Structures are given as C-alpha cells and as structure tokens.
Amino acid sequence: MKGIKVYHVDAFTDQPFGGNPAGVVPNAESIDSFEMQSIAKELNLSETAFLIPSESTNTDFCIRYFTPSSEIDFCGHATVASAWLLGTVYDWAEKKNMITFETNIGHVPVEFVTKQGALHAVIMKQVEPKVKKIETDLAELATYVGLTKDDIDTNYPVRLGYTGNWHLLIPVTTRKAIDQAIPQILKLKKHNESHNICTTHLFTFDSQEENCLIYTRDFAPAVGIHEDPVTGSANGALAGYLVLEGILNSKVDHVFCIAQGHAVGRPGKIDIIIYVEDNKPIIKVGGRAVPTIAGTFLVEGE
C-alpha cells in the first residue's frame, strides 16, 4: 500500500463549511491519471486538484483538475484552494509573493496577498477572456435552467464566455428567480455537451448581498456536477463578458465582489479585478480559503 496525502479545502470563504470545497493532492508526481480519476471520484467533490512539481523555471507546479467523472482543463476554486494550501500549510507565502501553475490552458500565476505577516488572499490571473454568441431559443433555454422566459434579463445578451472553459452566461432579472430555479438536469446536460459548454452560469445585478455587485448560481451536469457552489472560472468568464460586451466600461479599472453559494447553503464571495493592458482586458479572480480536512489515501502500490 502507498499513502497519498490529500486535503479538503473550502475556497472563496473565510469560514469552514462555506464556499466551494476542493480536494487538493499536493504531491501527485507518483500518481497516474487512472489513480487521479479514482481519487476524485472517491472524494466526490466538484473538483480535485493534483499538483506535480514543475521541471520548468517558469512555473512552480503542473496542476491537473478532475471532477468525479472526468478531467477538465481549468478550475478556479481548486486553483485558489491549492494556492492557499501551499501558501499556508507549506509556507510558500513566506518564500515568494507569487506562485505559477502550468495548466492545460497555459500558465496561471497566483499572487499571495499578505497582511500583518499572514496570508490574506490569493489572486489568480486568468487567461485572456473571450465571448461568442450561441444560437438557442430563449424560451427553450429558460426551461432547461428552471426559469420562465420573462425571468431572463433581455437588457444583457446571453453569451458563451471563456477564461479557460466555456460557460453559458444567462442574465436573470432577480435573485429570487435564480434561487428558485430548478434546472432540468438531463436536458441541460445534453444541451451543454452538444455545445462544448462546461457550466451554465446564472447571474443578476439584484445581488442583495452587502458589498457584492452580482449574485450567481452555476450548474455543470456536462462534467458530472449538478450545481457548483462557488465558481472561480465561470465568474472570471462573467467578468470578461461584462467588459467585452460593454456592460462595464473597458476604459477604466473595476474592482468588485460576486456572491454565490447561498442557494445551496455554502455562501462564498469572489474578488474580481478587471483592468486593461496592451488593449486587452485582464481578469483577476481571488479570495480566501480554509483547509478543513487533512488525510491519507491508501492505495495499491509500492
């Protein structure tokens, strides 16, 4: 038997049992893909991150992300969880002000933000945002996500947004409508698989949360997750959408928070930073995290 160290980390929260839990395996260099998928399935969290020390001078770790059913290219909350674990339990925040992960979509640098000698937040720079149109009837789409057509806020366009994965971004008139949404999981899964969509992300400016501009919910049946509590990649894609579609002024910087997870009893808060560099929007997403479980998987092997 061999022992594999694993952590359970709640991301985008400063309270245990809030935010979005991720599995993190900090020393995964001896684990193959089959074992990674098996561990992710056993943990049964929305994503588990596996860290492998990088041989490159430009990155610190290679990182792979697995849902209980498949590997995905990028996961925001598992990146935050991994960086927070490395910064605190493994003391990286005392040695460096930044850590860089090599992912399937490219390099993702994560800043350590410290206050009074302690780690206060981790902020990841996501890959360049993109948006594109999707040809789906609004009434049909509303049915898939458990809304009425009138619940969709037509002041803003329905789009696919990207900062590592493609997310279906649906503007909704009220938080109440979002909270009451009961998606048709099988139909939504089939729709998203046919369009290569990782998650469906409902958002509204009717946040009702203090200091939060936007409130969201996220459904991801195409990758084996009915609902993701607090979603770093989808909210990064949403931030890119806001500037690329002209909803937020692309000529000025933006700093705001997004609330998510309340509908499933795991409230979380995501910090968003948007600025322009070389005529391109830069999206940064971050927050805090709390390790809640440390343990060892016992698996067959030397």
Mean pLDDT of 16-25: 97
Whole-number pLDDT of residue 299: 80
Whole-number pLDDT of residue 13: 98
Residues 192 and 165 sit within 8 Å (Cβ to Cβ)? no
Whole-number pLDDT of residue 28: 96
In a domain, 269, yes or no: yes
Domain range for residue 194?
130-277
In a domain, 145, yes or no: yes
Catalytic residue, chosen from 47, 102, 111, 227, is: 47
Whole-number pLDDT of residue 302: 60
The verdict on 79 and 202 lying in the same domain is no
Mean pLDDT of 142-163: 97
Whole-number pLDDT of residue 136: 86
- One-letter amino acid for residue 20 of the chain: N
Mean pLDDT of 195-221: 97
Whole-number pLDDT of residue 262: 97
Residue 248: CA count within 13 A, CB half-sphere: 23
Q: What is the CATH number of the domain that holds 140?
A: 3.10.310.10
Note the pLDDT tens digit of each residue in 255-300.
999 999 999 999 999 999 999 998 899 999 999 999 999 999 988 7
The verdict on 216 and 85 lying in the same domain is no
At 292, give phi and psi (nearest 5°).
-120, -25
Mean pLDDT of 66-78: 96
Q: How many domains does the chain have?
A: 2
Whole-number pLDDT of residue 152: 97
Residue 126 has pLDDT above 80, yes or no: yes
Residue 213 has pLDDT above 70, yes or no: yes
Residue 301 has pLDDT above 90, yes or no: no
Q: 42 Cβ partners below 8 Å, 6+ apart?
A: 297
Whole-number pLDDT of residue 2: 81
In a domain, 283, yes or no: no
pLDDT level of residue 190 (50, 70, 90 thresholds): very high
The verdict on 120 and 190 lying in the same domain is no
The verdict on 99 and 215 lying in the same domain is no
47 is catalytic: yes
pLDDT-above-90 percentage for the chain? 94
